Amino acid sequence: MPVWDSKDGLGKFLSLPASMKNGSLANNSEMKLPTHTGTHVDAPGHVFDHYFDAGFDVDTLDLEVLNGPALLVDVPRHSNITAEVMKSLHIPKGVRRVLFRTLNTDRRLMFKREFDRSYVGFTKDGAKWLVDNTDIKLVGIDYLSVAAWSDLIPSHLVFLEGREIILVEALKLDVILPGLYSVHCLPLRLFGAEGSPIRCTVNSKFITRVASFNLQRCFFSAQKSATNHKCHHLAKAKVMASLLLLLLLYPLSTTTASSFAYPTIPGTIDPSFPASKDSKLIPIRREVYGDGRIFDITHRYTCDMPSAGSENGLGQFLRLPESMKNGSFANISEMKLITHTGTHVDAPGHYYDHYFDAGFDVDTLDLEVLNGPGLVIDVPRGTNITAEVMKSLHIPKGVRRVLFRTENTDRRLMFKNQFDTSFVGFTTDGAKWLVDNTDIKLIGIDYLAVAAWSDLVPAHLVLLESREIIIVEGLKLDDIQPGVYSIHCLPLRLLGAEGSPARCILIK
Digitized pLDDT (tens) for each residue of the chain, 508 residues in all: 999 999 999 999 999 999 999 999 999 999 999 999 999 999 999 999 999 999 999 999 999 999 999 999 999 999 999 999 999 999 999 999 999 999 999 999 999 999 999 999 999 999 999 999 999 999 999 999 999 999 999 999 999 999 999 999 999 999 999 999 999 999 999 999 999 999 999 998 654 333 233 333 333 344 444 444 444 445 444 544 555 444 434 443 333 333 333 344 444 444 444 555 666 789 999 999 988 999 999 999 999 999 998 999 999 999 999 999 999 999 999 999 999 999 999 999 999 999 999 999 999 999 999 999 999 999 999 999 999 999 999 999 999 999 999 999 999 999 999 999 999 999 999 999 999 999 999 999 999 999 999 999 999 999 999 999 999 999 999 999 999 999 999 999 999 999 999 999 999 9
Instruction: Enter the CATH code of domain 1-26+33-207.
Output: 3.50.30.50
State what percent of residues in the chain have pLDDT above 90. 83
How far does the chain reach from its first CA to its final CA, in angstroms?
A: 37
Please return the burial class of 236, using the count of CB atoms within 10 Å of its CB with bins 0-12, 13-18 and 19+. Answer: middle
361 DSSP β-pair partners: none
Check residue 279 and give its pLDDT: 63
Going from the C-alpha of 154 to that of each of 125, 128, 179, 236, the distances in angstroms are 9, 10, 30, 31
Check residue 277 and give its pLDDT: 61
CA distance 507 to 203: 15
Q: Give this prediction's pTM.
A: 0.88
Q: Which letter, b or e, does each residue of 39-56 get, where b requires 16 or more Cβ atoms within 10 Å of its Cβ?
A: bbbbbbbbbbbebbbbbb
Fold of 344-507: Glucose Oxidase; domain 1 (3.50.30)
- Do the strands 179-187 and 195-203 form a parallel or antiparallel pair, or are they unpaired? antiparallel
Q: How far is CA 413 from the centre of its chain?
A: 24
In DSSP notation, 279-312 reads TT------SEETTTTEEE-BPPB-TTS--TT-SS
What is the DSSP-derived secondary structure letter of residue 247? H
CA distance 68 to 47: 26
CA distance 147 to 119: 9
Angle between helices 152-160 and 124-133 (to 10 degrees): 10
471 DSSP β-pair partners: 346, 443
Residues in Cβ contact with 143 at an 8 Å cutoff, skipping those fewer than 6 apart: 102, 104, 109, 110, 119, 120, 121, 169, 170
74 DSSP β-pair partners: 101
Number of neighbours of residue 312 by Cβ within 10 angstroms = 12
Helix (H, G, I), strand (E, B) or coil at 268: coil
Residues in Cβ contact with 258 at an 8 Å cutoff, skipping those fewer than 6 apart: 264, 284, 286, 287, 288
For residue 505, the one-letter residue type is: I
CA distance 33 to 183: 25
- Do the strands 318-322 and 332-338 form a parallel or antiparallel pair, or are they unpaired? antiparallel
CA distance 189 to 468: 27
Residues in the chain: 508
